[in-house]
Amino acid sequence: MKKTITALLLVIMLCSLAACSAGVENGPRLNANIARVYSAENGVSHFVLNGRVLEGLAEGKAQIETSADGKACLAWVRSSVYNVSEAGTVPFGSGVTEAEISFDGSTVFFFQDGALKVCFAADGSVKTVEEGLDSLVQVAVSPSSKCAVFTASYPGDGFGYSSKLYKDGSLTPVLEDKTAIVIAVSDDADIIYYFDTDSGAFTVRKGGEDRVISTECDSGSNYNFTRDLGEVVYITGDKSFESGGTGGSEKVNRLFRLSDGFDTELGKGFGFPLKTDVYSRSVITLFAYINDVDSFTNGLWLLRTKTDSGYLYDIVRIDKDGGASEIVGNADSYKLSSDGQHVLWSADGTLYLSGVKGSAARVAANVEQFDFSKDGSRIWYLDALGDLYSAKLGKRAQRADSGVREFAVIGKYCLYITENANVLYRSEGTGHEKLWEGAAYIDERRGQLLIYSDERTTDLGTEYTLTVTPDGEDFDTRFEGVMP
């Protein structure tokens, strides 16, 4: 009976996770700078990184899942998967059901035809980790990809599953409890975090000793770790797989420190850190992120709550003692400056500028789009009338142009498209330069800008000319017959 209950809870939990995974909010830290470009006429997908076309292509229109640093991706075409990185494109073939990519895309673990395999992007080699699995539940790759722990079900396990450490080409059983799912593992495998689906306990094992952190974790919790796994922020409350919760304000973010057991509340909502690069992540069943920071203290934390009309965001600053103080409240959108010292945010169409240690200053009303310059010294915003404004921090805003439909910041420039004539312009803050006509829309990525132009209808559908620029100056990378 116990195994039956455990299995039912796991099935319900997995369904809950599947329902919420598509809407997981991870902020600008996970914006990809690798782009998939689909050529409709040839039926293939190309891949572009920082304005440069990567070697190799995928057959068909691929959906991509990027590595945490945005420089590599898994390209899915139905059950066929490709590993795409600066080293080239490696096809895995068909029949792949699950895959996890490391921080830099150097390694990918994937489940294919009952076997867990690993691909090394540097030389394209693929090795079989273990055969004879019924299903793969989770893979946790260590921060520097030196080892991994995976949880899987095997024939004869019944409703239980097993976890094993893969290090230096060898397998070692870990987490003997058949209801444990791995969440994160350190490079030396001395620290393993896991979730027990029977007791609902979020637990850490260090040096072979287990410590229960919480028995109140939400089934769809986001687990955010520091680089050395010494701190974790986890979510408690609103157990959606038991009570049908929607992931609203009852979610509580808590910070746990492994060295001394310190545990404190950061606030309510679905939370994640700001101004940190994700170092690696596991997302098959439980959402786990390892961030490239030594501590979450002296940093910013974002809390998202769901309302009838969408999402609202609060931003809090965590001090050195783990105390949280609000610097932004009830924002419907936000942008963080590159130096992490200022936040642009809007509430009901009004734009505000906040310093991380100061009060908010009103910037303008009826604002529809806004952003910082890449160096954080200038702000840009577009109002409901189509007027584009620019201002140095602390200075009065000046209108840069009118009749603007949308803009994006890339390099030292703001590129924008006019509403009626579909003309693409470029500006550094004063004056502007016409680039070309026929621009349809722009798609901003972390390291490059995609400009779609010359829209036309063919037998295959709506196609565009696509130009990719990494800096607003180099426009040499161009494709014809592209479908978004």
What span, in angstroms and rounded, lies between the C-alpha atoms of 360 and 342?
10
- Label residue 278 by pLDDT band (50, 70, 90): low
The whole-number pLDDT of residue 332 equals: 94
- Label residue 19 by pLDDT band (50, 70, 90): very low
What span, in angstroms and rounded, lies between the C-alpha atoms of 441 and 438?
10
Mean pLDDT in residue range 327-353: 93
Structure confidence by residue, pLDDT tens digits, 450-483: 999 999 999 989 999 999 999 999 999 999 999 9
Query: Nearest CA to 67 among 52, 87, 53, 38?
Result: 87
The whole-number pLDDT of residue 108 equals: 93
The whole-number pLDDT of residue 101 equals: 86
Tokens standing for 233? 């922020």
Dump the DSSP string for 70-101: SS-EEEEETTEEEEEETTEEEEEES-EEEEEE
The whole-number pLDDT of residue 121 equals: 84
Query: Nearest CA to 151 among 139, 143, 159, 133?
Result: 139
Query: Nearest CA to 91 among 44, 130, 134?
Result: 44
Contact (Cβ atoms closer than 8 angstroms) between residue 258 and residue 229: yes
Show the 3-state SS of 386-407: CCEEEEECCCCCEEEECCEEEE
What span, in angstroms and rounded, lies between the C-alpha atoms of 314 and 317?
10
The whole-number pLDDT of residue 240 equals: 46
Mean pLDDT in residue range 14-31: 36
The whole-number pLDDT of residue 218 equals: 64
Looking at every residue in the chain, the average pLDDT score rounds to 86
The whole-number pLDDT of residue 340 equals: 86
What span, in angstroms and rounded, lies between the C-alpha atoms of 427 and 430?
7
Mean pLDDT in residue range 230-259: 72
- Label residue 30 by pLDDT band (50, 70, 90): very low
Segment among 109-123, 211-225, 243-257, 296-310 with least mean pLDDT: 243-257
Contact (Cβ atoms closer than 8 angstroms) between residue 184 and residue 192: yes
Structure confidence by residue, pLDDT tens digits, 91-107: 999 999 999 888 667 88
What span, in angstroms and rounded, lies between the C-alpha atoms of 257 and 233?
9
Tokens standing for 88? 């080239």
What span, in angstroms and rounded, lies between the C-alpha atoms of 409 and 412?
8
Most confident of 249-253, 334-338, 343-347: 343-347
What span, in angstroms and rounded, lies between the C-alpha atoms of 130 and 229?
27
- Label residue 431 by pLDDT band (50, 70, 90): confident
The whole-number pLDDT of residue 247 equals: 43
Rg (alpha carbons) of the chain, rounded to whole number? 24
Q: What percent of the chain has pLDDT over 90?
A: 62
> Residue 451, Cβ neighbours under 10 Å: how many?
24
Structure confidence by residue, pLDDT tens digits, 33-71: 789 999 998 999 999 998 999 999 999 999 988 877 778
Mean pLDDT in residue range 385-409: 95
- Label residue 280 by pLDDT band (50, 70, 90): low
Contact (Cβ atoms closer than 8 angstroms) between residue 481 and residue 40: yes
Contact (Cβ atoms closer than 8 angstroms) between residue 107 and residue 118: yes
The whole-number pLDDT of residue 248 equals: 44
Task: Tell me which of 124 and 347 has the higher pLDDT.
Answer: 347
Is pLDDT above 80 for 188?
yes
- Label residue 7 by pLDDT band (50, 70, 90): very low
Q: What percent of the chain has pLDDT over 70?
A: 88
Structure confidence by residue, pLDDT tens digits, 435-454: 999 999 999 877 799 999 99
